[in-house]
């Protein structure tokens, strides 16, 4: 595995540009994960630790704490909803409006040894602000480039909310319907800002597999 691309670094944190397809934790079957990079990031015996998580298929900003006290401070900021997270997604179709806020609770549903998040009033609160950055089309039909700012941190929130808006993310194997086979997931954790003293902030560039679709929507 190639060395990690570092977007931000100080004595407390490193923000990595996580590649799409790389899990943050090793799976039961083994294989590479973000944790394989930990010895390269710190020689301390206590750490590093993930300050938060990204889906395996999502690329972009992933914050790693190098010390325990900053880890606790970051986890508190995440729990209080004070961390600003920005995502870019390329979706099939697009919303009816140029911008909006989706307030749609999410509930985990298990079936046939698989699970997914569904919009359900019985679920946990999930709020996502979104706006259309551009539109275009490919041979299969219309595309939209969305910027999304989740105000809560539910599992698969961006993916489930885009599908609920009627515009699933390209390449999404769980929520993409007929678009599930269109290559890798077109979802980027574009930016993160953790309001500590001093602040932690980073921006990730789109991965190679998203660039052509983004160019169609520019």
Number of Cβ atoms within 10 Å of the Cβ of 111: 7
103 tagged catalytic: no
- Cis geometry, peptide bond prior to residue 49 (ω within 30 degrees of 0): no
Encoded tokens for 56: 């395996």
Which one-letter DSSP state was computed for residue 3?
A: P
Q: Cα–Cα distances in Å, from 6 out to 131, 158, 182, 192, 203?
A: 28, 24, 29, 13, 10
Q: Is 51 helix (H, G, I), strand (E, B) or coil?
A: coil
Which residue of the set 17, 36, 46, 55 is catalytic? Answer: 55
Which are the catalytic amino acids? Answer: 55
């Amino acid at each position: 595995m190639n060395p990690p691309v570092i977007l931000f670094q100080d004595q407390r944190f490193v923000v990595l540009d996580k590649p799409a397809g790389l899990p943050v934790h090793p799976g039961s079957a083994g294989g590479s994960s973000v944790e394989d990079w930990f010895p390269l990031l710190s020689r301390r015996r206590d750490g590093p630790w993930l300050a938060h998580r990204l889906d395996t298929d999502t690329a972009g900003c992933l914050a790693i704490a190098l010390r325990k006290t900053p880890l606790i401070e970051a986890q508190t900021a995440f729990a209080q909803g004070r961390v600003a997270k920005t995502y870019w997604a390329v979706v099939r179709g697009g919303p009816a409006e140029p911008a909006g806020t989706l307030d749609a609770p999410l509930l985990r549903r298990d079936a046939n040894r698989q699970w997914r998040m569904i919009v359900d009033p019985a679920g946990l609160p999930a709020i996502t602000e979104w706006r259309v950055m551009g539109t275009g089309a490919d041979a299969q039909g219309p595309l939209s480039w969305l910027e999304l700012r989740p105000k809560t941190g539910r599992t698969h929130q961006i993916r489930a909310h885009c599908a609920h808006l009627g515009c699933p993310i390209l390449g999404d194997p769980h929520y993409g319907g007929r678009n599930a086979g269109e290559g890798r997931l077109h979802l980027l954790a574009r930016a993160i800002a953790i309001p500590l003293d001093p602040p932690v902030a980073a921006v990730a560039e789109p991965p190679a597999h998203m660039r052509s679709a983004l160019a169609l929507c520019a």
